[in-house]
């Protein structure tokens, strides 16, 4: 299944989308590691190719719930995130720090392409929904329940920590030939109330289940 023309990425849209790395997930509470855990890569090399058999893409349907058992996440309803007036990508508000947001200028989870989910690691109020993202490992599952009653199950194939100034825009938001998922949050040791890095989880669709 191909994506609708209205959601086709252009260079300018990709550039705007990347600004979530520069402006989102700010003002953390507590302390984070200055370097990523050993199992989270620091490099921004192309993502490893999927090793699982392709799964038939799903029709468009909005995400309503996100479960990441390895990180203790069971969050819903899912927020819809667009673009701010200055062209940067929205992130959940501090009041919604316990919720996951979906970047609604892209595909829905299960469609062909990279569906992008965004959540806080922490805020000035303390730990947030993705506080345990470092517990994720390659092979763990992320399940997204959709409005049509189906659940899209993704398997993690890569975790990456990058400086926000070197955010891998094309790797995160660029076109893909199969249904994929990105889960983006912040990381790194606090600097002037902000975390300087992004942690990005890359996952592939491995199953679709009825509710």
140-166 pLDDT tens trace:
999 999 999 999 999 999 999 999 889
Cβ-proximal residues to 177 (8 Å cutoff; 6+ apart), any chain: 112
- Distance (Å, whole) CA 80 – CA 63: 9
- Number of Cβ within 10 Å of residue 185's Cβ equals 26
- Distance (Å, whole) CA 125 – CA 54: 41
Q: For residue 81, what are its two tokens?
A: 């995130």
CA 110 vs. chain centroid, Å, equals 14
CB 3 within 8 A of CB 112: yes
Q: What is the pLDDT of residue 13?
A: 44
Q: What are the backbone angles phi and psi of residue 165, rounded to the nearest 5°?
A: -75, -10
- Number of Cβ within 10 Å of residue 119's Cβ equals 30
pLDDT band (50, 70, 90) for residue 86: confident
Right CATH for 53-210 from 3.20.20.10, 3.10.20.600, 3.30.420.40, 2.40.260.10: 2.40.260.10
Per-residue pLDDT, averaged over 174-178, amounts to 95
pLDDT tens digit sequence for 47-73? 556 556 778 999 999 999 999 999 999
pLDDT band (50, 70, 90) for residue 24: low
106-112-118 Cα angle (round to 5): 40
Q: What are the backbone angles phi and psi of residue 54, rounded to the nearest 5°?
A: -60, 145
Cβ-proximal residues to 159 (8 Å cutoff; 6+ apart), any chain: 39, 40, 41, 136, 137, 138, 199, 200, 201, 202
Per-residue pLDDT, averaged over 156-181, amounts to 94
Residue 31 has pLDDT above 70, yes or no: no
Residue 205 has pLDDT above 60, yes or no: yes
Residue 9 has pLDDT above 70, yes or no: no
Number of H helices, E strands in the chain: 3, 11
Q: What is the pLDDT of residue 196?
A: 83
pLDDT band (50, 70, 90) for residue 20: low
Quote the mean pLDDT of the chain: 82
Q: For the whole model, what pTM was predicted?
A: 0.82
Percent of the chain with pLDDT over 70: 74
Q: What are the backbone angles phi and psi of residue 47, rounded to the nearest 5°?
A: -60, 145
- Distance (Å, whole) CA 71 – CA 144: 14
């Amino acid at each position: 299944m191909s994506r609708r023309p209205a959601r086709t990425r252009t260079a300018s849209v990709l550039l705007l989308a990347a600004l979530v790395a520069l402006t989102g997930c700010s003002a953390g509470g507590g302390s984070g590691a200055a370097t990523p855990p050993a199992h989270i890569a620091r490099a921004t090399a192309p993502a490893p190719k999927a090793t699982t058999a392709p799964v038939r893409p799903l029709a468009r349907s909005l995400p309503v719930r996100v479960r990441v058992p390895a990180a203790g996440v069971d969050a819903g309803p899912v927020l819809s995130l667009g673009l701010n007036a200055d062209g940067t990508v929205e992130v959940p508000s501090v009041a919604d720090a316990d919720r996951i947001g979906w970047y609604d200028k892209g595909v829905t989870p299960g469609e062909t392409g990279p569906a992008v989910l965004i959540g806080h690691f922490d805020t000035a109020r303390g730990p947030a929904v993705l506080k345990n993202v470092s517990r994720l490992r390659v092979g763990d599952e992320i399940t997204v329940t959709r409005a049509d009653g189906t659940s899209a199950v993704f398997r993690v194939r890569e975790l990456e920590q990058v400086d926000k100034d070197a955010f891998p825009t094309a790797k995160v938001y660029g076109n893909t030939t199969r249904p994929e998922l990105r889960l983006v949050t912040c990381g790194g040791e606090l600097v002037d109330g902000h975390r300087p890095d992004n942690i990005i989880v890359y996952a592939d669709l491995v199953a679709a289940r009825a509710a």
